[in-house]
């Protein structure tokens, strides 16, 4: 009915919303206090910071809901083309500051709150950090939402509303201990529950087919659960446009097992209904290994099935011609995790909408795009055919069918090439058959993209080489980016202010990061450099305060802050960093007073979560903590090195540590890190990178100049050659300093050793060095020494940092999204009129 109201009624409805339009202090206060009383049921005469956080968030949410609804209504009325970003993870981070900044009301809310006795900065700290993601992939999805809203792209994110996000990391006796993250315990003011938006999702049962070829299937029985929508508004910066993030929660289906009930098994039938809720209970905390858990497959299908129903329903509001579907809907798959959505769309088109196969297939391949985030073979998803068959029988049947058609085409185009057929087949193995989800995603998509230039090259040249030869035009690169709103403007207000003041352009650069290039001209200007130094010191003070408060460690301000924060993994080589620290420590122990005066004092931060089942990664954490223990308590080195294991690395504390870093480490073995995105954030915040020629480091070097980074290590080809050698060869070339560091560990200098880590080091010594620690160690040490030398020349250091910031514009996710829009989604911005501009 909303679309049909007359203009008069519309105006009337419009004026009803005025209560939330007021941007003056009194209106803001009234709306906050109203929520204290009416939403929270508390008295306005006495409420705590946390309640102020809740009420403030509800007040902001009111504005966002209005913008969201208006945006949505506008897009519906225009039958706008839409982008749907499907992801099993959205690592959003806290919402309050970001929302206020984006709707340009941070200052107003700050003043309004001060006036009634609250400090906005303290209120920010009350918010739980919603952590529905593992790492880079989930955070990328969150940055993309921000950019799509900012760029006026009619877009939606779809995912899962997990009850438990990524675990909280505690450290006990140096070991990681995982604590459940029940982030909803105190409610979530940012979401809107939508019991009116609910879809059934079926698992198991049987399917019968009629007709030939793919036929028409009837899928019945099994278990039906309901997907309920929870919406979170995603406001753009400096635009009225507000997009929607829709997360699904599982609930018991409407069908009740009457049979059991009548048999007197009331309790059992209730318990079965409860099982439905488990589907969206918990985020799987793996960041790079694939696990064939049935519940994970259920999660994937659950959210894809609900999402496809929702998208189709929206399409049908305004459309009847199915051929328009791909023109109006683009679905992007954030890795293969939601790839089953493509098969689900095919199923619905065939079995429900009764479209002919050719037409249905054209629609599917016109709709989907697939983004790959990894080249590690152990991360590629391969579901057991048996599991798929029992859970999703029709989907398995359709995969077999499309695979057969695809392989026939390949046979025609590459006669006699049996090897290729084997490799590109969606099915792997003979007895224990598995479905290669990447192959399914590639064939079902019109475009496949890597996330950095080097990564895309590797996809084309090795991982997906055979596909690339079949579909050369399908593959393209979309170098990742990060949102400058959260990762500069919000987390580093001092630097943001300095940029705005310097380029004399207000905040325009916040949506056009290339403008920041202008500050390069000031890299030698003393006045500017001094201000930049002051910004860095202020950020370091904040970090110092945070570390004191949360970990009880005092760190000095006048040291180089050397930071390595990311998920703990062999390929990311935290081990190489800690071995270098040991080397440095041993070196200092051997120095006289005179020599020590020349040492650059460092505070080394290493932080990140290890997957709970990843033994080696957990061993690294223990080793880091043992080394920290020894070094931090060695008075003889006079704080020349301090080692901090940065606990529970997450979005909110990333916003503290990134602006404070001097040196930032991105030291993965060349060819292993698809892109990396924190490298971009650190660069934007004026940290210098020590890094390998891997992932997006390569492009960062291109943009800011290799001379403004500390680049080291083997390149992809050298890594390949080294790996092709024998263990004997590598053993014979073990780096001497590495050997000394091992010895110090074996001798117990860093406490009693856990056998696992000892075994790990032994294997490297024996020449089994897949991640090339020994190959890269010498050049790593050399790069570290370069960093020290440069740091002693503060003018040079700051100049390099400023140039880094100036030339980091490419790494805004706005640029990335513009590329997706132009090259993959073929969509242009739709600027919605701001109703506030209308004469009232």
Chain residues in the site for ligand F58 (CB under 6 A): 134-137, 140, 286-288, 373-374, 379, 451, 480, 673-677, 695
Residue among 314, 474, 540, 566 flagged as catalytic? 566
User: Which of 567, 573, 666, 810 does the annotation list as catalytic?
Assistant: 567
State the DSSP code for 687: P
In the residue annotation, 479 being an active-site residue is answered as: no
CB of 697 to ligand F58, least distance (A): 11
Residue number with CB closer to ligand F58 (235 or 676) = 676
SS (H, E, C) 329-384: EEEEEECCCCCHHHHHHHHHHHHHCCCCHHHHHHHHHHHEEEECCCCCHHHCCEEE
Query: What's the 3-state SS for 794-825?
Result: HHHHHHHHHHHHHCCHHHEHHHHHHHHHHHHH
Nearer to ligand F58, 189 or 285 (CB): 285
Q: How far is the CB of 278 from ligand F58 (least distance, A)?
A: 19
Half-sphere exposure of 399 (CA within 13 A, CB side): 31
Kindly state the smallest distance separating residue 452's Cβ from ligand F58, in Å: 7
Asked about 209 being catalytic, the answer comes back as: no
**Smaller CB separation from ligand F58, 31 or 134:** 134
Q: Give the span between the Cα atoms of 835 and 526, in whole angstroms.
A: 46
- Active-site residue 540, yes or no? no
Q: Find the shortest distance in angstroms from Cβ 376 to ligand F58.
A: 8
* Nearest-approach distance from CB 143 to ligand F58, in angstroms: 9
Query: Among residues 367, 456, 511, 677, which one is catalytic?
Result: 677
Residue placing its CB nearer to ligand F58 in the complex, 607 or 695:
695
Q: Which of 168, 244, 485, 572 is catalytic?
A: 572
Q: Which is nearer to ligand F58, 668 or 790 (CB)?
A: 668
Residue/partner pairs of 732-737 with CB below 8 Å, 24 or more apart? 732/767, 733/774, 734/764, 734/765, 734/767, 734/774, 735/774, 735/777, 735/778, 737/583, 737/777, 737/778, 737/781
Task: Confirm whether 566 is a catalytic residue.
Answer: yes
Q: In this structure, are strands 175-179 and 168-172 parallel, antiparallel, or unpaired?
A: antiparallel
Q: Regarding beta strands 206-210 and 216-220, do their DSSP bridges make them parallel or antiparallel, or are they unpaired?
A: antiparallel
> Is 615 annotated as catalytic?
no
- Cβ-defined contacts of 771-774 (< 8 Å, 24+): 771/570, 771/571, 771/573, 771/669, 771/672, 772/669, 772/713, 772/714, 772/719, 772/722, 772/723, 773/573, 773/575, 773/576, 773/579, 773/738, 774/730, 774/733, 774/734, 774/735, 774/738
Pairing of strands 475-477, 223-235: unpaired
Q: Please, what is the minimum distance in Å from the beta carbon of residue 293 to ligand F58?
A: 11
Structural tokens at position 680: 């971009």
Q: Which of 286/384 has CB closer to ligand F58?
A: 286
The answer to whether 80 and 71 are in contact (CB under 8 A) is: no
Question: At its nearest, how many Å lie between ligand F58 and the CB of residue 824?
Answer: 15
Burial class of residue 271, CB neighbours in 10 A (0-12, 13-18, 19+): exposed
Active-site option among 61, 94, 347, 373? 373
Q: Of 97 and 697, which CB lies nearer to ligand F58 in the complex structure?
A: 697
Q: What is the dihedral of CA 299, 301, 302, 308, to 10 degrees?
A: 140
Nearer to ligand F58, 477 or 480 (CB): 480
- Smallest distance from the beta carbon of 133 to ligand F58, in angstroms? 7
* Residue position matching structure tokens 């390099």: 800
To ligand F58, the closest distance from the beta carbon of 716 in angstroms equals: 15
Query: Closer to ligand F58 at the Cβ: 398 or 711?
Result: 711
Least distance from ligand F58 to the Cβ atom of residue 382, Å:
12
Q: Which residue is nearest to ligand F58 (CB)?
A: 136
Least distance to ligand F58, CB of residue 358, Å: 34
Measured in residues, the chain has a length of: 840
Catalytic member of 622, 681, 730, 799: 681
Cα(87)–Cα(333) distance, integer angstroms: 7
Q: Cα–Cα distance between 311 and 308 in angstroms, integer? A: 5
Asked whether the CA dihedral 143, 147, 150, 152 is positive or negative, the reply is: negative
**Which is closer to ligand F58, CB of 574 or CB of 675?**
675
Coarse DSSP helix, strand, coil percentages of the chain, rounded to the nearest 5 percent: 55, 15, 30
Pick between residue 140 and residue 687 the one whose CB is nearest to ligand F58. Answer: 140
206-216 burial, b for 16+ CB within 10 Å, e for fewer?
ebebeeeebbe
- Catalytic residue list contains 567: yes
Residue-wise burial string across 340-353, b where 16 or more C-beta atoms lie within 10 A, e elsewhere: bbbbbbbbbbbbee
CB of 572 to ligand F58, least distance (A): 9
Integer Cα distance of 438 and 571 in angstroms: 21
Burial of 40 (0-12, 13-18, 19+ CB in 10 A): middle
HSE-CB of 753 using CA atoms within 13 angstroms: 17
456 exposure class (CB count in 10 Å sphere: 0-12, 13-18, 19+)? buried
SS3 for 767? coil
Judged by CB, which is closer to ligand F58: 2, or 461? 461
**Residues known to be catalytic:** 373, 566-567, 572, 677, 681
């Amino acid at each position: 009915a909303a679309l049909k109201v007359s203009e008069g009624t519309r105006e009337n409805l419009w004026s009803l919303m005025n209560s939330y339009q007021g941007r003056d202090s009194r209106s803001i206060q009234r709306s906050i206090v109203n929520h204290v009383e009416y939403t929270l049921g508390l008295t306005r005469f006495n409420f705590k910071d946390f309640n102020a956080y809740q009420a403030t968030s509800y007040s902001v949410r009111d504005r966002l809901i209005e913008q969201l609804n208006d945006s949505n209504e506008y897009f519906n009325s225009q039958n706008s083309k839409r982008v749907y970003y499907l992801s099993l993870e959205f690592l959003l981070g806290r919402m309050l500051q970001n929302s206020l900044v984006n709707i340009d009301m941070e200052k107003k809310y700050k003043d309004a709150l001060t006036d009634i006795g609250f400090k906005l900065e303290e209120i920010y700290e009350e918010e739980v950090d919603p952590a529905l993601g593992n790492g880079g992939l989930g955070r990328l999805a969150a940055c993309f939402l921000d950019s799509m809203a900012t760029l006026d792209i009619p877009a939606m994110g779809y995912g899962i509303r997990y009850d438990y996000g990524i675990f909280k990391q505690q450290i006990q006796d140096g070991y990681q201990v995982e604590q459940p993250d029940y982030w909803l315990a105190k409610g979530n003011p940012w979401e809107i529950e939508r019991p009116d938006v609910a879809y059934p999702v079926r698992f198991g049962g049987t399917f019968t087919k009629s007709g030939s070829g793919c036929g028409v299937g009837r899928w019945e029985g099994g278990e039906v659960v309901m997907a309920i929508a929870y919406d979170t508004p995603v406001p753009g910066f400096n635009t009225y446009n507000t997009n929607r993030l829709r997360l699904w929660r599982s609930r018991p289906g409407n069908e009740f097992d009457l049979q059991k009930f009548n048999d007197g098994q009331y309790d059992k039938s209730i318990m079965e209904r409860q099982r439905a809720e488990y589907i969206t209970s918990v985020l799987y905390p793996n960041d790079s290994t694939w696990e064939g858990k049935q519940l994970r497959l259920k999660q994937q299908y659950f959210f894809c099935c609900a999402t496809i129903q929702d998208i189709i329903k929206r399409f049908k509001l305004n459309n009847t011609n199915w051929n328009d579907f791909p023109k109006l809907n683009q679905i992007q798959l954030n890795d293969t995790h939601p790839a089953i959505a493509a098969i689900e769309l095919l199923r619905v088109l065939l079995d429900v909408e009764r479209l002919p196969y050719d037409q249905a297939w054209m629609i599917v391949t016109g709709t989907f795009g697939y983004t790959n985030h990894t080249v590690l073979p152990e991360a590629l998803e391969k579901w057991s055919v048996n599991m798929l068959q029992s859970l999703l029988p029709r989907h398995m049947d359709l995969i077999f069918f499309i695979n057969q058609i695809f392989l026939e085409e390949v046979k025609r185009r590459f006669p006699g090439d049996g090897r290729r057929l084997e490799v590109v087949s969606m099915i792997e193995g003979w007895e224990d058959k598995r479905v290669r989800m990447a192959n399914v995603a590639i064939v079902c998509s019109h475009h496949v993209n890597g996330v950095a230039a080097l990564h895309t090259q590797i996809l084309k040249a090795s991982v997906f080489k055979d596909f690339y030869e079949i579909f050369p035009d399908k593959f393209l690169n979309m170098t990742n980016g990060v949102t400058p709103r959260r990762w500069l403007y919000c987390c580093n207000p001092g630097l943001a202010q300095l940029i705005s003041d310097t380029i004399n352009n207000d905040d325009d650069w916040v949506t056009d990061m290339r403008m920041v290039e202008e500050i390069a001209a000031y890299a030698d200007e003393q006045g500017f450099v001094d201000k930049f130094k002051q910004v860095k010191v202020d950020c370091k003070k904040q970090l110092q305060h945070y570390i004191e408060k949360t970990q009880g460690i005092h760190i000095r301000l006048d040291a180089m802050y050397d930071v390595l924060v990311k998920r703990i993994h062999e390929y990311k080589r935290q081990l190489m960093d800690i071995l270098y620290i040991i080397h440095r420590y041993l070196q200092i122990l051997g120095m006289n007073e005179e020599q020590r005066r020349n040492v650059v004092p460092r505070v080394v931060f290493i932080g990140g979560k290890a997957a709970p089942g990843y033994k080696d990664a957990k061993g690294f954490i223990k080793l880091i903590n043992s080394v920290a223990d020894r070094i931090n308590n060695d008075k003889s080195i006079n704080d020349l090195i301090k080692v901090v294991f940065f606990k529970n690395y997450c979005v909110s504390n990333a916003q503290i540590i990134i602006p404070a870093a001097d040196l930032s480490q991105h030291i993965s073995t060349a060819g292993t890190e698809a892109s990396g995105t924190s490298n971009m954030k650190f660069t934007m915040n004026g940290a210098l990178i020590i890094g390998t020629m891997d992932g997006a480091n390569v492009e960062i070097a291109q943009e800011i100049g290799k001379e403004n980074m500390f680049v080291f290590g083997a390149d992809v080809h050298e890594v390949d050659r080294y790996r092709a050698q024998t263990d004997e060869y590598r053993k014979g070339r073990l780096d001497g300093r590495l050997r000394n560091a091992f010895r110090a560990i074996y001798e117990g200098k860093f406490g009693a050793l856990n056998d696992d880590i000892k075994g790990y080091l032994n294997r490297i010594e024996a020449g089994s060095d897949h991640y090339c620690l020994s190959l890269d160690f010498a050049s790593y040490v050399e790069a570290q020494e370069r960093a020290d030398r440069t740091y002693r020349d503060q003018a040079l250091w700051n100049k390099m940092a400023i140039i880094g910031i100036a030339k980091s514009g490419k790494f805004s996710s706005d640029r990335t999204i513009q590329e997706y829009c132009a090259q993959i989604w073929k969509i242009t911005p739709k600027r919605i009129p701001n109703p506030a501009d209308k004469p009232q």
